[in-house]
């Protein structure tokens, strides 16, 4: 694995263009666009304020930079560097800004979620959408970019509006049977909308594209409910992670639960492999402590680590959450399916150092990765069943069905990997630390044997 040099960024704003050719990073006021292969600066733009949110348009021709404090959105063009566009929300303020799927409209959510303004880059038309709901995930676009679902709240009731992104025509508007809608997500085949209630009530509703209620699912009453939801890429499964530390998988034919994945503190399933990260400190001899060595060779201080396979039954470290706090750190907070549908990675908040990988073909636990620090971020390779994760230290970890490996980021000084994402081709990883980024080139066919 090769690593590139380190570049600056701020606010964790670093995105690869959808076509994979460019890498855009924001450094305070500036927007730097580099060619992905050569990492040479292709374009440089300057915004009026430190950028809080940056997004590529779907056709990779425009970049949106939002500055929430000033209520400004600036759009830059890659084809015409002198083209400029500035959207000022004025006194009404700005809390979020995003592209529409066609890459020609900008949706701005004003402060206090008063309304959503749809600005068009093609025409002078401006649309307003009233009463948007401020929740975990109130807006979602279908994968083909044709429809948008928006959660609304009027008169203490939840509604869902489906818009046609072509001309922002309101296709359907129906009341949702939730008490307090927390999120909605389209299925990858664009035909089913999953809507879930907030944690006080476990309720998952499935609506068809034309607004009919297909099914409703509730696993239990009273205790804290749904924490996270994920569709499988084929739309066959819907994984629901809840506060009771279980993931329930629903199937797309009957919308009933086919299995539930538990996250027990003691793993006794003999088919699962438990990888435990073990740090090995290098032995330092007295003659090695020269100043030269200390400054140049950072491997002296960064510890190497490798994975060891633990014998079953294995204990997973559990951290009991504070019972007096809201949104307790317990339950499945993150779910991700692999691109080929075969694997599901989950993270249980009261076992923050462990990552669980499930085999979707056998519907059983495949591997548990126990790290030395809480897992901060994990993402699947968009092309193959390979999982990259980071825990905030100087290493990046890769898991694949062949095994897992831990790689130290060989950067001068220490590079604490806070988050990461894959390039769309799956051939490289972009690692983000607090103020820097680094690219990691991974061989496409590399099988990771555990060291």
Partner 1 sequence: MSPSRLYTASVMPPLPLSSFNVSSNFCTEENISECILYINQELSSLCFPPIFQNSDSIRDLDAVVALNNIHDLLQLHRRAVGMMEELEVEQLKSSSDLHYQHLTNSRLKDQLELSKKENMRLHERERQLETNLKTLQNCLKDTKEEVQRLQGIIASRAIQYNHDIKRREREHNRVKERLNQLLIAKKENKQGMEVLNYVGRSDGRRCLWKTGKTESRHEGDMYKTLLSEFDNRQRELMVENIELKKVLQQMKREMVGVLNSKKMSQKEEKQSNDMDQTNSDDDELLKGHPEMSCDHAREKLTNSIRQQWRKLKHHVERLDSQASMVQDEDSEEVISKQLHEEEMERLKLEIQQCKEFIETQQQLLQQQLNTPCDEETAAVLNDSYMLEEKERLKEEWKVFEEQRKNFEMERRNFTEAAIRLGHERKCFEDDRAMWLKHQFLNTPFADQMKPQSRMADEFSKHSGREEKLISISGKVSKSHL
Query: Which listed range, 47-55, 103-111, 305-313, 429-437, lies at the site for partner 1 (CB under 8 A)?
Result: 103-111
Give the 3-state secondary structure of residue 287. helix
119 belongs to the binding site for partner 1 (CB under 8 A): yes
Contact 388, 397 (CB under 8 A): yes
Query: Measured from the CB atom, is 340 or 435 closer to partner 1?
Result: 340
191 belongs to the binding site for partner 1 (CB under 8 A): yes
Binder to partner 1 among 122, 156, 268, 291 (CB under 8 A)? 122
Residues with Cβ within 8 Å of 238's Cβ and at least 6 positions away in sequence, in order, are 187, 194, 204, 206, 229, 230, 231, 232, 249, 250, 252, 255
Distance CA 184, CA 136 (A): 9
Please report the DSSP string for 341-357 in residue order.
SSEEEEEETTSTTEEEE
179 belongs to the binding site for partner 1 (CB under 8 A): no
Binder to partner 1 among 41, 200, 213, 284 (CB under 8 A)? 200
Query: Measured from the CB atom, is 321 or 374 closer to partner 1?
Result: 321
Distance CA 283, CA 317 (A): 28
Minimum distance from residue 68 beta carbon to partner 1 (Å): 14
Report the candidate in 378, 381, 387, 380 with the shortest Cα–Cα distance to residue 418. Answer: 378
DSSP E strands, 187-303: 192-197, 204-208, 213-217, 226-231, 237-242, 246-251, 257-262, 266-267, 273-280
Other beta carbons within 10 Å of 9:
22
325 belongs to the binding site for partner 1 (CB under 8 A): yes
Stretch 240-259 residues interacting with partner 1 (CB under 8 A) = 253
Stretch 81-100 residues interacting with partner 1 (CB under 8 A) = 82-93
Distance CA 134, CA 136 (A): 7
Q: Is 323 left (phi over 0), alpha (psi -120 to 50) or beta?
A: alpha
Query: Which listed range, 38-46, 216-224, 263-271, 394-402, lies at the site for partner 1 (CB under 8 A)?
Result: 216-224
Query: Which listed range, 150-158, 271-279, 325-333, 438-446, lies at the site for partner 1 (CB under 8 A)?
Result: 325-333
Binder to partner 1 among 167, 279, 288, 412 (CB under 8 A)? 167
361 belongs to the binding site for partner 1 (CB under 8 A): no
What x-and-dash track marks residues 33-72 binding partner 1 by CB under 8 A?
-------------------------xx-x---------x-
Residue 38: half-sphere exposure toward Cβ, Cα within 13 Å: 5
What x-and-dash track marks residues 410-449 binding partner 1 by CB under 8 A?
----------------------------------------
Minimum distance from residue 253 beta carbon to partner 1 (Å): 8
199 belongs to the binding site for partner 1 (CB under 8 A): yes
18 belongs to the binding site for partner 1 (CB under 8 A): no
Minimum distance from residue 385 beta carbon to partner 1 (Å): 23
Binder to partner 1 among 34, 98, 104, 423 (CB under 8 A)? 104
Query: Measured from the CB atom, is 90 or 317 closer to partner 1?
Result: 90
b/e burial code for range 23-58 (CB count within 10 A of at least 16 → b): bbbbbeebbbbbebeeeeebbebebebbbbbbbbbb
Other beta carbons within 10 Å of 297:
13
173 belongs to the binding site for partner 1 (CB under 8 A): no
126 belongs to the binding site for partner 1 (CB under 8 A): yes
Distances (CA, A) of 380 to 11, 74, 164: 23, 31, 30
Minimum distance from residue 212 beta carbon to partner 1 (Å): 10
Distance CA 98, CA 55 (A): 7
Give the 3-state secondary structure of residue 94. coil
Query: Is the preceding peptide bond at 313 cis, omega within 30 degrees of 0?
Result: yes
Residues found near partner 1 in the complex (CB under 8 A):
58-59, 61, 71, 75, 77, 82-93, 102-104, 111-112, 117, 119, 121-126, 146-147, 164, 166-167, 169, 171, 189-191, 199-200, 208-210, 222-224, 253, 323-328
């Amino acid at each position: 694995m090769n690593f590139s040099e380190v570049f600056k960024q701020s606010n964790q704003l670093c995105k690869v263009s959808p076509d994979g050719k460019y890498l855009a990073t924001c450094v305070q006021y500036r927007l730097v666009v580099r060619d992905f292969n050569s990492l040479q600066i292709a374009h440089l733009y300057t915004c009026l304020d430190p950028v809080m949110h940056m997004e590529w348009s779907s056709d990779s021709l425009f970049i949106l930079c939002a500055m929430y404090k000033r209520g400004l959105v600036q759009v830059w063009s890659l084809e015409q560097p002198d083209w400029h566009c500035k959207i000022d929300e004025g006194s009404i303020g700005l809390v979020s800004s995003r592209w529409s799927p066609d890459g020609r409209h900008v949706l701005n959510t004003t402060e206090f979620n008063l309304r959503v303004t749809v600005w068009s880059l093609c025409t002078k038309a401006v649309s307003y959408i009233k009463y948007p709901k401020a929740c975990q995930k109130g807006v979602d676009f279908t994968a083909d970019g044709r429809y948008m679902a928006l959660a609304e709240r009027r008169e203490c009731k939840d509604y869902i509006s489906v818009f046609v992104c072509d001309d922002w025509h309101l296709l359907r508007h129906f009341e949702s049977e939730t008490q307090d809608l927390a999120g909605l997500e389209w299925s990858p085949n664009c035909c089913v909308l999953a809507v879930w209630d907030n944690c006080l009530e476990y309720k998952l509703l499935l609506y068809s594209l034309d607004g009919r209620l297909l099914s409703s699912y509730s696993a239990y009453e009273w205790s804290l409910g749904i924490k996270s939801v994920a569709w499988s890429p084929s739309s066959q499964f819907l994984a629901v992670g809840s506060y009771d530390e279980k993931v329930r998988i629903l199937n797309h034919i009957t919308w009933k639960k086919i299995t539930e994945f538990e996250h027990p503190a003691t793993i006794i399933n003999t088919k699962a492999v438990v990888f435990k990260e073990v740090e090995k400190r290098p032995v330092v001899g007295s003659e090695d402590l020269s100043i030269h060595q200390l400054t140049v060779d950072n491997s002296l201080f960064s510890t190497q680590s490798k994975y060891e396979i633990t014998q079953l039954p294995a204990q997973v470290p559990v951290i009991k959450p504070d019972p007096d706090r809201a949104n307790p750190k317990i339950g499945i907070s993150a779910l991700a399916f692999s691109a080929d549908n075969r694997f599901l990675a989950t993270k249980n908040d009261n076992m923050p150092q462990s990552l669980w990988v499930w085999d979707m073909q056998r519907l059983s636990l495949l591997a548990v990765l126990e790290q030395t620090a809480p897992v901060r971020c994990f993402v699947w390779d968009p092309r193959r069943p390979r999982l990259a994760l980071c825990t905030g230290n100087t290493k990046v970890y890769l898991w694949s069905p062949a095994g897992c490996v831990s790689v130290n980021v060989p950067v001068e000084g220490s590079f604490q990997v806070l988050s990461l994402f894959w390039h769309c081709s799956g051939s490289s990883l972009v690692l983000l630390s607090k103020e820097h980024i680094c690219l990691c080139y991974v061989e496409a066919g590399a099988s990771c044997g555990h060291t």
